[in-house]
Amino acid sequence: MGPPPRSPKVIYLLPFIAIILLYLRWFTPQLPITQNNTELKLAYATLLLPDTSSDPSRSTDIYFLSTRILNYQLLHDPRTRTTRAIPFLVLVTPDIPPWKCEHLKREGATIVRVGKLDVDWIQPGHERWRDVMIKLRLFELLSYDRILFLDADTFLFKPLDGVFADPAAQIQQTLQQASIEPDEGPLPASYVFGTSSEVTTASHSYPPVPMGYFNAGFFVMSPSLQLFSYYLSLFNHTTRFDTTYPEQNLLNYAHREDRNMPWGRLNFSWNINLPLPRDVEMGVASVHAKLWTKGNELKPVEQELQDIWRVKREEMEIWTGFGSGRM
């Protein structure tokens, strides 16, 4: 007894069914994957600063190279790329040469031109603030709902799309648990600021011991002009925080855990500073380190990680070579 012969009626219907299916495919808006924050506009972002090496040329700007590797890993490398078409924004200041912007654009990055925070109330001796503080301009990018900022010396081992679903990447209501300094700007009613605990020694455990201090090389935020003005208002009170790492310490001050806008703790597995090969074996998704160097005695970069970086660099360059014709 084989299968029952197919009814001829069904055969006549098949072309109509196909047409209906095609119609639905073409004329129905693509529904977002059912995850509660997919309708939000998401982005990855980094900041590319001018090359300060003594002989700036096409080959000396290691941060430019590092940004290109990050772009490759976030957008193109099948092992780590976004599967939700999340764009990668590269914030550039007017002193970044146009060829660098063009190059990054050809490789898929979204160039966002930003001005320096050129305000005369930055006190003398704080010139380099103008550069690092540009990071705060992320808070002005109102066309995005959530941005994961990564320092240009971040290297991926796993995709990062899931970070936007982390509880610490969601909206927090501003608390009223502490008094407000009258000479600081007003706080927004709610905010998003999720990041990871700092790791201070290369001989750390994994997961690292949670600290009250975070590294500003990896954080999820939501643009907000009110938050931006609040941060700017802190520039007038530079005695309230240590200015060795101005933007990191300003953000740590603004988001102190016992105040009204405490920082949220992202799952430790998203990113680690001062990485060891063991952190990678244990599954960390990304690391923050200058993997193109040996580091120094306090912050060594193990050979194994340097090698992984070098191989990825070659892979990216081969990809670019093949890709440049069609981009």
Ligand X SMILES: *[C@@H]1O[C@H](CO)[C@@H](O)[C@H](O)[C@H]1NC(C)=O
Q: Which residues bind ligand X (CB under 6 A)?
A: 121, 232-233, 235-236, 267, 269, 283
**Three-state helix/strand/coil letters over 146-206:** EEEEECCCEEECCCCHHHHHCHHHCCEECCCCCCCCCCCCCCCCEECEEEEECCCCCCCCC
Q: For the chain, state the CA radius of gyration.
A: 23
CB-based contacts of 244, cutoff 8 Å, min separation 6: none
Q: Cβ closer to ligand X: 190 or 267?
A: 267
- Measured CA to CA, the distance from residue 205 to residue 299 in angstroms comes to 15
Q: Cβ closer to ligand X: 226 or 320?
A: 226
Distance set, CA 140 to CA 93, 97, 224, 231 (Å): 15, 23, 6, 12
Report the length, in residues, of the chain.
327
Q: Shortest approach of ligand X to residue 293 CB, angstroms? A: 29
CB atoms within 10 A of CB 277: 13
DSSP 286: E
Q: Shortest approach of ligand X to residue 199 CB, angstroms? A: 16
Q: Shortest approach of ligand X to residue 211 CB, angstroms? A: 16
Q: Shortest approach of ligand X to residue 234 CB, angstroms? A: 8
Q: Shortest approach of ligand X to residue 208 CB, angstroms? A: 12
Q: Cβ closer to ligand X: 163 or 289?
A: 163
CB-based contacts of 250, cutoff 8 Å, min separation 6: 133, 136, 231, 234, 235, 241
- Measured CA to CA, the distance from residue 145 to residue 222 in angstroms comes to 5
DSSP 65: H
Q: Cβ closer to ligand X: 87 or 262?
A: 262
CA 302 to chain centre: 24
Q: Cβ closer to ligand X: 89 or 148?
A: 148
Q: Shortest approach of ligand X to residue 262 CB, angstroms? A: 17
Q: Shortest approach of ligand X to residue 263 CB, angstroms? A: 16
Q: Cβ closer to ligand X: 45 or 169?
A: 169
Q: Cβ closer to ligand X: 222 or 269?
A: 269
